[in-house]
Structure 1
Amino acid sequence: MHPDAWHLTEDIDGFHARAGSFLRSRPVLHNTPLTVMEKWRTRPGAFEPGSVLFGRLESGDEVQAVFYRPPSRRLTLTPLSPERADALAAHLADSLGHTLAGVTADHDTATAFAEAWQRHTGATPTLRVRMHLYRLDTLTPPHPHPEGHGRIVGEQDHEHLMRWCRELAADLGESVTIDAGSWEGTRFAEKSYTFWQSPDNTPVSMAGVNPMVAGMVRVDPVYTPARLRGRGYAAAVTAEVSRAALAAGATELVLYTDAGNPTSNALYQRLGYRRVADWAPYDFAYAEPEAG
């Protein structure tokens, strides 16, 4: 595959016009590009023109794969063969230099690209975390079911929601500011949220969902404060948002898990989510230039 088969652009509308149908053709595997593109195209201020590099691989007149590189410099890729991953790495190394902070894709694609990037640039790739991608098969309500009920998070809950998002980010090791001033710029802002409440109306867990795109909804994030875990609240709120998404017309529900967390993986499987792919985010480190 020759590098000139990749078409690079900073024009989001032109990119979407050519690649949108391709992304919608596999909404489960393409869930992240779909939701990110939807946010950039529809949320005022979410996208800064010229800040993102898009690429599409065309064979004949058909799009075969796409990528985008946002200001974080982390490349997000749709599935590629090892040969195509190597060709892309060579092309980007020549055109961009050492300007990638990492890559995220399905495990095989991300690994192939990370190894190719190392060959072409000398960067050292490090796997940040092993992840699983799940797709809902048949929703199975949790049993036993904890007491309480779900409630849509409203404006009056915003401080509570931001506090839990800060706690979640800290648990995940993310360095991010989450307050009233920065909220709209965070990855949490475009989602809708549901609290699971105990019988006395105290929120005990939450789940978020991304806006529906191509019939697909991604559940993210799910969070229960540490002191309240192990009581079935996360299962209850996940089942609640899954049921609501299906009722709203979703045809595909997906979520990601940390492969190293057996508790969460078992929880989602009991609810009817089935693993469809492994996922891998790699970070790239570069040697410091020698002093002259």
Structure 2
Amino acid sequence: MASVAPDWHLTRDLEVFLDCAGGFLRSEPALHTVQLTVTDALARQGSAAYGPKPPHFAWLTDRDGAVWATALRTPPYELNLTATAPEAADALAARLSEAGHALPGVNGPADTAAAFATAWERRTGATAQLTTNQRLYRLGTLTPPDPAPPGRARLATGDDHALVAQWHAEFSTATGGRPMRDPGRWAEGRIAHGGITFWETPDSTPVSMAGALPKVAGQIRIAPVYTPPALRGHGYAAAVTAAVSRAAQAAGADEVLLFTDLANPTSNALYQRIGYRPVRDFAVHTFRT
């Protein structure tokens, strides 16, 4: 990485942010998948896509004006930060703390997130705790389970709204907390763009679901994947994830991506069996005052 003068620019204007940093985000779609999908949703749906409070954006430029890193936050979510040097992470912590930002945490590449968390502790007196280790995977050669469990994949429709909302709430609880967004509105939005697929048994009972975000910069990210606890162990998650992955490829995605929690060896092994390969490790640090 070239020598960077840590000059962070802050804005609440999505158009300004994308005009300045959109090219940088699209330069590495896999590594920037979160910010690409978040800004796409904000562009299509407005700030209400994530909550009532306005989002915040930041980008780092060098002395020649080239963008080297970006950050965004859609309250109440954590700050999302792309890879950057420790001194640049420290400079961003300084800018945000001086501007009075109260952050619940940071999410980003593991080394960058750790550097920002350390800087935030030093500058604000908050306590940072590593709460989640994640791994980003990219689909290589898709290898669907053979044999597949009995049943088939199908897109969720408006008639499935209540179940999709329920399973989203259960997924959020199972992965560490309450839903940040209203489950009903989340379900409505996902169903509207064909973003939820069920695996259903031969008697048409849904037993697992997988989501897919809209294609942005050639990448589609699979999220979430959920099977109710009583229905696990039958291969439903692998089957529905393979079906959604195949659909993403058919939709023209250059890269099909997903995140896993490294604390869950079952899901990590499952995705690798069907063709996903590691790209980079990420981490979430939570801040407490």
TM-score, normalising length from structure 2?
0.91
1:76 corresponds to 2:80:
yes
Pairing partner for 1:87 from 72, 91, 97: 91
Question: 1:63: Cα distance to partner?
Answer: 1.0
Alpha-carbon separation, structure 1, partners of 2:53 and 2:170: 33
- 5 Å matches for 1:112-261? 112-176=115-179, 178=182, 180=184, 182-183=185-186, 192-261=195-264
SS of match in other structure, 1:130: strand
1:30 maps to which of 29, 32, 37: 32
Query: Does the 8 Å contact 2:219/2:253 carry over to 1?
Result: yes
Identity across the alignment (%):
49
d(CA) in 2 for partners of 1:9 and 1:191?
Answer: 32
Using a 3 Å threshold, how does the CA distance of structure 1 residues 187 and 105 change in structure 2: closer, same or farther? farther
Q: State the 1:56 CA deviation.
A: 0.7
Give the aligned partner of residue 105 of structure 2.
Answer: 102
Task: State the Cα distance separating 1:69 from its structure 2 match.
Answer: 2.4
Q: Report what 1:290 is aligned to.
A: none
Q: Assess, with a 3 A threshold, how the Cα gap between structure 1 residues 86 and 70 changes in structure 2: closer, same or farther.
A: same
Distance change (3 Å), C-alpha of 1:212 and 1:24: same
Q: Is the CA contact (8 Å cut-off) linking 1:210 and 1:220 kept in structure 2? A: yes
Partner of residue 263 from structure 1, selected from 257, 263, 266: 266
Q: Give the count of matched residue pairs.
A: 283
2:51 touches 2:75 (CA, 8 Å); kept in 1? Answer: no
Go from structure 1 to structure 2 and tell me whether the alpha carbon gap of 1:83 and 1:273 turns closer, same or farther (over 3 Å shift).
same
Partner of 1:212, secondary structure, is coil
Trace 1:253-292 onto structure 2 (pairs within 5 A). Answer: 253-286=256-289
CA distance in 2, matches of 1:278, 1:186: 29
Q: Structure 1 249/73 Cα, relative in aligned 2: closer, same or farther at 3 Å? A: closer
Moved over 6 A (4+): 47-50, 184-191
1:103 CA drift (Å) = 0.6
Q: CA RMSD in A?
A: 2.2
Deviation of residue 163 (structure 1)? 1.7
Aligned to 1:289: none
CA deviations on 1:171-207 (whole Å, 9 max, x unpaired) are 2232237454x54799998771111111122111110
Query: 1:16 and 1:49, CA in 2 relative to 1: closer, same or farther beyond 3 A?
Result: farther
Q: Residues 28 and 184 of structure 1: is their aligned pair in 2 closer, same or farther, counting only changes over 3 Å?
A: same
Report the Cα offset of residue 91 of structure 1. Answer: 2.4
TM-score by length of 1: 0.90
Residues 188 and 29 of structure 1: CA distance in aligned 2, closer, same or farther (over 3 Å): farther
Matched, 1:52 2:55: yes
In 1: Cα distance, 2:80 partner to 2:109 partner:
10
User: Residue 79 and residue 169 in structure 1: after superposition, are their counterparts in 2 closer, same or farther (change >3 A)?
Assistant: same
Between the aligned partners of 1:179 and 1:120, the Cα distance in structure 2 is 35
Unaligned runs of 5+ in 1: 287-292
